[in-house]
Amino acid sequence: MGIPWKITCTGGSLLHPWPYGGTLHRDAVSTSTYSSPAKSLGDPGITPLSPSHIVKDSDAEDAVEQLFLVVVAIDFGTTSSGYAYSFTKEPECIHVMRRWEGGDPGVSNQKTPTTILLTPERKFHSFGYAARDFYHDLDPNESKHWLYFEKFKMKLHTTGNLTMETDLTAANGKKVKALEIFAYALQFFKEQALKELSDQAGSDFENTEVRWVITVPAIWKQPAKQFMRQAAYKAGMATPENPEQLIIALEPEAASIYCRKLRLHQMIDLSSRAPVNGYSPSDTIGTGFTQAKEHVRRNRQSRTFLVENVIGEIWSELEEGDRYIVVDSGGGTVDMTVHQIRLPEGHLKELYKATGGPYGSLGVDYEFEKLLCKIFGEDFIEQFKIKRPAAWVDLMIAFESRKRAAAPDRTNPLNITLPFSFIDYYKKFRGHSVEHALRKSNVDFVKWSSQGMLRMSPDAMNALFKPTIDQIVQHLSDVFDKPEVTNVKFLFLVGGFAESPLLQQAVQSAFGSRCRVIIPQDVGLTILKGAVLFGLDPAVIKVRRSPLTYGVGVLNRFVEGKHPPEKLLVKDGTRWCTDVFDKFISADQSVALGETVTRSYTPAKPSQLVIVINIYSSEQDNVSFITESGVKKCGTLRLDLTGTDASVPNRREIKTLMQFGDTEIKAMAIDVATSKSVKVGIDFLNY
């Protein structure tokens, strides 16, 4: 075995030495009939230096921290979105955006619906309530030409091979590039926030003075997170040259940061044995929640929240090493993150990689749609959605309001108004009335009210929640069974769907005996406020779990009997094994914030002036070759050394650095002799 080269890890040793030993090259000469990525790229070769020259961390060119006047966080949700901000000089004051025009009966409007409307010429027209109301008021024949999008964020989660070319489908069936729609939406928020800030300041507020934070689900794969950054660049929030102006924050992490600040009067402890917020545990959960809703209603008049610069009472009970779980239940996804407290600063360590799935409140809407299909026929519902899209939106708005009124102890029925065009179109389509359809359908818990409404019994409504809530409880049970998740002290239930008393009761009855279930009172704004706090202090999360295995493609000395014969490459009389995956970090490995893995290489030929290092990723931990299934190329470091001093020593050192621990990963290559360097963000969308 040859001498393994040295690895320097700033922030702690991360990796084992290269297991094969021997000299290692990166190569590209196609001398074999076997076609492999390494040989077909035309990349000049590199070989490791042994031992590695170790440089001080300062050589890694740390980015100079910019000073921003304000942090603006955007919670881009599946069903609703909003922004909040805080001036860096007053970090304890978090301001939630101005109230929106419009709004729905029975639904609070601190956020606006994530709906966007484009003109027939595909230009941005409006967002949120304004988009929905304008679309709704269009003549049905005219509305066919307008492009209306809602609940489109889920496309980033459900698309397996997401690229910059991925399309979204409007209500009228026309397709538009997803990147354009997301960029339009972010540009709308950027302009709204800058206008509000300018009004407050009394003079124009510049984009350069703002640090932007955009929240994304932690369970999103890397391409979706990168997609949001690209959309933000397109919207003009930041540039690839100044990426630090934009932070991509993970939703449950943001919630976790906010929950640390909670005081007793700002939360409901469902597991409490003593009175909290003036109600005792003998009262039902519903009663406590009613009081909390009243508190939120009063608070809604004020848009400024004071976040005391203290650790909340619940938090002060936590000791070094204590664990808690954050369950962020939104419209599209449910995200779960397990964190551990680290004292004295109260920094957070991610114990178990983010998990979850598409179990958001959209699942309840889907069950309602299935119920309508059962009563009126799938063919009719499909036609109605296409022919009367605005009326379909109306029907779902009416359902949303009643959905929020569902509670475990409710006894009176819930009435859902059917739009006139639904009743009218059904009669034309079937030749008989809606009332007739209900009588024939044998759906006994839904009746027709003479005022033109569907009357649902509380049991019928609760049944619509059951499949989604069961999935959440099952997934949580699986998480609690993991060895890393023992002795959890608290479960924080956050996100818009956490407002549902049905979900609260299900989580409390399933897990109340294992930990305390806590709900922040302004549960729908928890992520937004936490994202602002994260933007003010991005270093608060100290340790994360790497979602993927990362490495580079290299050549290694061919060992007979150990390496597959089809990987043999003979060059200048030397036998090489091609396509070897040289691992930098493993999936689910703990990584400290800013932890950098550094390795040194040298060009295989001293005269070589273009060094190319390809970076690969995989969801699997145990990867040997870059040709294995699931291994994806996600970055290229191309270091052009032409024009540099010819008197450079023969053993030219090329240092490769990969920085982990942040929500995104950066890579860099440096020619030590000339200090020439190249940086690259890991790219999951263009390879």
How would you write 272-295 as a 3-class SS string? CCCCECCECCCCCHHHHHHHHHHH
* Residue among 624, 665, 591, 672 nearest 223 (CA): 665
- Co-location of 492 and 418 in the same domain: no
Q: In terms of domains, do 431 and 564 share one?
A: no
Select the more confidently predicted residue: 216 or 346: 216
Co-location of 412 and 528 in the same domain? no
Residues 596, 637 within the same domain? yes
Q: Check residues 10 and 266 and name the one with the higher pLDDT.
A: 266
Q: In the predicted model, is pLDDT for residue 307 greater than 80?
A: no
Among 29-43, 170-184, 552-566, 571-585, which stretch is predicted with the lowest mean pLDDT?
29-43
Q: Note the pLDDT of residue 16.
A: 25
Q: Is residue 561 scored above 80 in pLDDT? A: yes
Q: Per the domain annotation, does 291 fall within a domain?
A: no
| Predicted confidence (pLDDT) per residue in 78-129, tens digit | 888 999 999 988 888 888 887 655 555 444 557 888 999 999 999 999 999 8
Q: Is 277's pLDDT higher than 90?
A: no
Ramachandran class of 442: left when φ > 0, alpha when ψ lies in -120 to 50, beta otherwise: left
* Claim to verify: residue 420 and residue 441 sit in the same structural domain: yes
Residues 148 and 212 in one domain: yes
| pLDDT of amino acid 398 | 86
CA pair distance 298, 320, nearest whole angstrom: 37
Q: Under DSSP, is residue 569 helix (H, G, I), strand (E, B) or coil? A: strand
Residue 91 lies in a domain: yes
Using pLDDT thresholds of 50, 70 and 90, give the confidence band for residue 284: very low
| Boundary residue ending a domain (412, 437, 463) | 463
Structure-token pair, residue 668 = 């860099």
User: Is residue 173 included in any domain, yes or no?
Assistant: yes
Q: What token pair was written down for 404?
A: 């929020």
Range of weakest confidence among 55-69, 251-265, 305-319, 323-337: 55-69
Q: Which domain holds residue 412?
A: 362-463
Domain check: are 259 and 305 in the same one? yes
What pLDDT, on a 0 to 100 scale, did the predictor assign at position 628?
Answer: 92
pLDDT at 276: 38
Q: Answer with the one of 510, 544, 578 that is the final residue of a domain.
A: 544
Q: Are residues 454 and 524 in the same domain?
A: no
Residue 640 lies in a domain: yes
Domains held by the chain: number = 4
Same domain, 539 and 556: no
- Under 8 Å between Cβ of 603 and 652: yes
Per the DSSP assignment, residues forming a β-bridge with 150 are 115
Among candidate residues 476, 529, 585, 535, the one with its CA nearest the CA of residue 211: 535
Same domain, 202 and 243: yes
The answer on pLDDT for 313 being more than 70 is: no
Grouping H, G, I as helix, E, B as strand and the rest as coil, residue 503 is helix
Nearest to 74 by CA among 520, 663, 532, 538: 532
The pLDDT assigned to 44 comes to 43
Higher pLDDT, 28 or 565: 565
Neighbours of 106 (CB within 10 A): 13
Arithmetic mean of pLDDT, 419-424 = 90
Same domain, 310 and 242: no
User: What is the per-residue pLDDT for 646?
Assistant: 55
pLDDT in tens, 438-451: 888 877 788 888 77
Same domain? 165 vs 239: yes
pLDDT at 487: 84
Averaged pLDDT score across all residues of the chain: 78
Q: Which one of 216, 250, 284 terminates a domain?
A: 250
Domain-located, residue 655: yes
Give the pLDDT of residue 85. Answer: 93
